[in-house]
Amino acid sequence: MSSNQFDVVVIGAGPGGYIAAIRAAQLGKTVACIDAWQNGQGGPAPGGTCTNVGCIPSKALLQSSEHYEQANHHFAEHGIEVKGVSLKLDKMIGRKNSVVKQNNDGILYLFKKNKITFFHGKGAFAGQVDGGWAIKVSGTTEADIVGKHVVIATGSSARELPGLPFDEQQILSNDGALNIGAVPKKLGVIGAGVIGLEMGSVWRRLGAEVTVLEAMPEFLAAVDTQVAKEAHKIFTKQGLNIQMGVKLGEIKSTAKQVTVPYTDASGAEQKLVVDKLIVSIGRVPYTGGLNAEAVGLKLDERGFIVVDADCKTNLPNVWAVGDVVRGPMLAHKAEEEGVAVAERIGGQHGHVNFDTIPWVIYTSPEISWVGQTEQQLKASGRAYKAGSFPFLANGRARALGDTTGFVKILADATTDEVLGVHIIGPMASELIAEAVTIMEFRGAAEDIARICHAHPTLSESMKEAALAVDKRTLNF
Ligand code: FAD
């Protein structure tokens, strides 16, 4: 095989792409991965949206801003007096950037370790040739390569409001929202989804007056209603001004301020004037520069690459994974698809279970869930039992000083199989893993109830909620 020929060429080194590349290499394939992302110095920054302007930097800022909030408002409860707490925003953003860089460097190291050839540039289809697909790389590296198989993992980009392009100064996407130079006095957020709530929380904790405007009438409609109601109550108490059911008027932006006229849920005309506006109204699949049309790659009406259940596109030996195809736009979903595709290419039976993909909102308290909500079970007519346990009754949560929220388990009324688990509270992002494992094994609430959980841990709330399904909680 010549040096420009590979068994697998992966386009995009986000969580879908770089993980697909590693798994294919583990299975003995020759692999190239192409990614266009540049760091501040023009160098490669593999990791995609997730590493550069998504999961990782947002969690770094959520952690830093939570420390700031704790120091300002909660250390005193622990008998720790701190005076003169001050914010060095440039240092906080600098730390976030260095966390991102550690992840970029980690991926470059993993490419080397797995003997994956990395190309820094844009990859575009140049037609079908003997032995596979010709791919042209242009950018820092210029190359013409051939892949027997091609995995497209080009991800997504932030959706703009019509007529209001991101300038990343006043009108911010997730990218700008992670890099504001000074805490705005007033910040507007359009969209009360995961990203809007996480970014709104960061800047509220750092001192901004934050108003979130959402078109949908119901807060976090995809979340279990009981959890969504609790979250709305807590976020409002924390100071997020969340307006549901609004209709936006024409937004005007100047160098100093952004004016957002809107009709509120009662039909009254309102005007929000803010220093900066984050627009977080969803993301759109990204296929720009792939030359997809020329080779006949099929996209749907919303721009997603059309794939079957195995992530096969309409073109032979061309696969697509992650945000650029149907399904939840989550890093771990992209990773699972990347692994599954690499295994299918390697002659194995890759597998992704869409029913057990966990969801997390990294606000404080955190929110996580897997499986069906109570409203979904009701709508489907499935008979179920529910058991909840509040963190207020959990010893570790009391010791932590964080007793908000609860764990709720929904199980089949007859078989006791766990159908959904919903958590709002401390470390919900970590606690959900147990629920995912149980559901993956199609376990019952009774299984969780009979598993020994260390004391004192937050995870005991999972056990207690499982006991509650059978109306026999021990500590509540
Ligand atoms: P991406 O990560 O978008 O990567 C695609 C890569 O392909 C990019 O590097 C891009 O430059 C490159 N590319 C595109 N076209 C080409 C081309 N022609 N040639 C070469 N390279 C190309 N998900 C979670 O699971 N947990 C979270 O906590 C979370 N937080 C988030 C926070 C924010 C603010 C945002 C915006 C998203 C968050 N997400 C989170 C979503 C997550 O980032 C995405 O689901 C994930 O990154 C999708 O991975 P991907 O590999 O499909 O695409």
**Range list of β-strands (E), 374-464:** 384-390, 406-412, 418-425
**Range list of β-strands (E), 166-312:** 171-172, 186-190, 209-213, 241-243, 247-248, 252-253, 258-263, 269-274, 276-279, 283-285
Beta bridge partners of 8: 31, 149
Q: Whose CA is nearest to atom 35 of ligand 1?
A: 54
Give the residue, out of 49, 297, 333, with the most ligand 1 atoms within 8 A of its beta carbon, to mutate for a pocket test.
Answer: 49
**Range list of β-strands (E), 121-223:** 122-129, 132-138, 143-152, 156-158, 171-172, 186-190, 209-213
Ligand 1 centroid to Cα of residue 338, in Å, is 13
Q: Let me know: does 193 contact 280? Beta carbons within 8 Å.
A: yes
- Enter the tokens of residue 400: 């932590």
Q: Whose CA is nearest to atom 7 of ligand 1?
A: 12
Rounded Cα gap, residues 327 and 105, in angstroms: 29
232 flagged as catalytic:
no
131 confidence band (pLDDT: 50, 70, 90): confident
- Give 184: exposed, middle or buried? Use CB within 10 Å, 0-12, 13-18, 19+: buried
Q: What three-state secondary structure class fits 286?
A: coil
- pTM for the model stands at 0.97
pLDDT at 456 over 70: yes
Rounded Cα gap, residues 234 and 277, in angstroms: 23
Q: Whose CA is nearest to atom 37 of ligand 1?
A: 54
Residue 76 has a CB neighbour count (10 Å cut-off) of 11
Q: Which of 436, 412, 443, 442 is nearest to 422 (CA)?
A: 436
User: Which residues contact ligand 1 via a Cβ below 6 A?
Assistant: 11-17, 34-37, 48-50, 54-55, 58, 122-123, 153-156, 174, 195, 286, 289-290, 322-324, 329-332, 334, 362
What number of H helices and E strands is found in the chain? 14, 23
Residue range 372-381, pLDDT digits in tens: 999 999 999 9
Rounded Cα gap, residues 126 and 134, in angstroms: 5
pLDDT over 70 percentage in the chain = 100
Ligand 1 centroid to Cα of residue 108, in Å, is 17
Give the residue, out of 11, 18, 55, with the most ligand 1 atoms within 8 A of its beta carbon, to mutate for a pocket test.
Answer: 55
Residue range 200-211, pLDDT digits in tens: 999 999 999 999
Ligand 1 centroid to Cα of residue 59, in Å, is 15
The Cα angle at residue 297 between residues 293 and 303, in degrees rounded to 5: 80
Q: Whose CA is nearest to atom 8 of ligand 1?
A: 48
Residue 357 has a CB neighbour count (10 Å cut-off) of 16
- Enter the tokens of residue 165: 């392009």
Q: What is the sign, positive or negative, of the torsion defined by CA atoms of 29, 35, 38, 41?
A: positive
Res 233: pLDDT: 97
Ligand 1 centroid to Cα of residue 53, in Å, is 8
Q: How far is CA 343 from CA 22, 27, 199, 289, 298, in A?
A: 11, 8, 36, 27, 23
Residue 177 zone, left/alpha/beta (φ > 0; ψ -120 to 50; rest): alpha
pLDDT at 410 over 70: yes
Query: Between 194-205 and 225-238, two packed helices, what is the crossing angle to 10 degrees?
Result: 20
Name the H helices within 218-308: 225-238, 292-295
Quick one: average pLDDT of 276-294? Answer: 96
Q: Let me know: does 33 contact 10? Beta carbons within 8 Å.
A: yes
Rounded Cα gap, residues 61 and 44, in angstroms: 23
Rounded Cα gap, residues 24 and 155, in angstroms: 19
Residues 6+ apart with CB under 8 A from 472: none
Peptide bond preceding 165 in cis form (omega within 30 of 0)? no
Residue range 64-120, pLDDT digits in tens: 999 999 999 999 999 999 999 999 999 999 999 999 999 999 999 999 999 999 999
Rounded Cα gap, residues 441 and 447, in angstroms: 10
**Range list of β-strands (E), 36-170:** 117-120, 122-129, 132-138, 143-152, 156-158
Ligand 1 centroid to Cα of residue 155, in Å, is 5
Ligand 1 centroid to Cα of residue 13, in Å, is 9
Res 165: pLDDT: 97
Q: Cα-flanking dihedrals φ and ψ of residue 367, to 5°?
A: -125, 135
Q: Whose CA is nearest to atom 22 of ligand 1?
A: 12
Q: How far is CA 106 from CA 100, 111, 216, in A?
A: 10, 9, 40
141 confidence band (pLDDT: 50, 70, 90): confident
Quick one: average pLDDT of 115-128? Answer: 97
Average model confidence (pLDDT) across the chain: 97
| Half-sphere exposure for 241 (CA within 13 Å, toward CB) | 10
- Enter the tokens of residue 80: 């720790």
Q: Could you tell me whether strands 247-248 and 258-263 are parallel, antiparallel, or unpaired per DSSP bridges? A: antiparallel
Res 1: pLDDT: 53
pLDDT at 294 over 70: yes
Residue range 238-249, pLDDT digits in tens: 999 999 999 999
Residue range 15-52, pLDDT digits in tens: 999 999 999 999 999 999 999 999 999 999 999 999 99
Beta bridge partners of 278: 172, 189
Res 3: pLDDT: 75
